[in-house]
Amino acid sequence: MANGRDEKKYVGILNDQKGGMTDSGKIIRDAWVFGLIAETETCEGWVIQGIQALWEQTEAEWEKYGFLVNNLPPELRQRFDRIQSEAVIRAKQSGWDPERDLDSD
């Protein structure tokens, strides 16, 4: 507890809503792609400031490639494709429906 109040903690990508297909889940998957955290790190128990710092790091990495998947070097592109494919399978198994759950804006 900080200053007598509870800090909200992230549930972890494996326990996240929509099977991890959330903004926090995307940050974590991108961090895995760029090797900022181990693929075994689910960020369970992290406070929002930790997720925010990870987002800033992933944004800096994406900026190097113009924020485009097609600009990733082959090794990163293969890792990105594998991590995303596995995430989609895991999310669908936990009830995520891309037709229903993706924002249309």
Residue at 52 is within a domain? yes
How many distinct structural domains can be found in the chain?
A: 1
Q: Tell the residue number behind the tokens 């790091």, with chain if given.
A: 57
pLDDT truncated to tens, each residue of the chain (105 aa)? 344 466 889 999 999 999 999 999 999 999 999 999 999 999 999 999 999 999 999 999 999 999 999 999 999 999 999 999 999 999 999 999 888 866 543
Residue at 104 is within a domain? no
Residue at 31 is within a domain? yes
CA distance 17 to 6: 21
Residue at 57 is within a domain? yes
Q: What angle do helix axes 74-93 and 23-33 make, rounded to 10 degrees?
A: 140
Residue at 54 is within a domain? yes
Residue at 102 is within a domain? no
Residue 68 sits in which domain range? 17-97
CA distance 93 to 81: 18
Residue at 21 is within a domain? yes
